[in-house]
Amino acid sequence: MEDHAQGLLLSSDFCEALNYAVQMHLRQFRKGTPIPYVSHLLAVASLVLEYGGTEEEAIAALLHDAVEDQGGRQVLDRIRRRFGETVAEIVEGCTDAETIPKPPWRERKEAYIRHIASASQSVCLVCAADKLHNARAILRDYRELGEGLWSRFNGGREGTLWYYRTLLIALRMRYKSAVLDDLEREIHELENLVVISARDGGS
C-alpha cells in the first residue's frame, strides 16, 4: 500500500471549492479565447500544490478571481462563511479590485504592487502561481499571434510587460520560492521574443 504519511491529502473542502469555482465561472472564458476560464483556476491550484502549498492555499487559488470577477465583497463574505477566514484573507489579498467598474488599469496595478510589499506568504504563493500560468499562456499565444496579442490587454504590450516585471521584483522582496524563478524565466523569454519581433519589424 502506498505510504501517504508525508503527502498532502485533500479533503472534501477542496472538492466543494472546486465545484463552487466551476459554478461561479461557468460562463466565463479566458481573455480573447474560447478556453473555459476554469482551466486557469485549475492550473493555478495545481501550481500552488506543486510548489508546496497547503490545502487552504490551493482552495484560495481556485477562488482567487471570484471577488474581482463574480460579485465583489458579497462573494468574499460568502467565501469566508463557507471556507474560513484563512482562505478569505488569501483571496482578498489576491484581489486588485472589488468594485464595478474597476479603477483605471495603471492605478489598480500600481496599488496592487504596493500591496504585495506587505502581503502574506500565502498571498505571494497564490499570486506567483497565478502570474506564472498567465505568463505561460501569454508566451504561447504571442508565439502564435505576435503583436496582435496585445490588443487583449488593457495595458497593451508596454504596460503588460512592465506589470509582470515590476510585480516579480515586488514578490522577490517579500517571498522566496522556486515559483519565482520559473516566473522570471517565462517573463525573460517573453521579453526576448518581443525584442526579436521589434527588431524584425513585428508581425
The predicted model scores a pTM of: 0.93
What pLDDT is attached to residue 98?
A: 79
What Å distances lie between residue 84 and 23, 60, 147, 158, CA to CA? 19, 10, 43, 38
pLDDT-flagged residues of the chain (< 50): 1-4
What pLDDT is attached to residue 12?
A: 96
What pLDDT is attached to residue 198?
A: 83
Q: Does domain 12-199 have CATH number 1.10.3210.10?
A: yes
Q: Where are the domains of the chain?
A: 12-199
Catalytic residues: 68-69
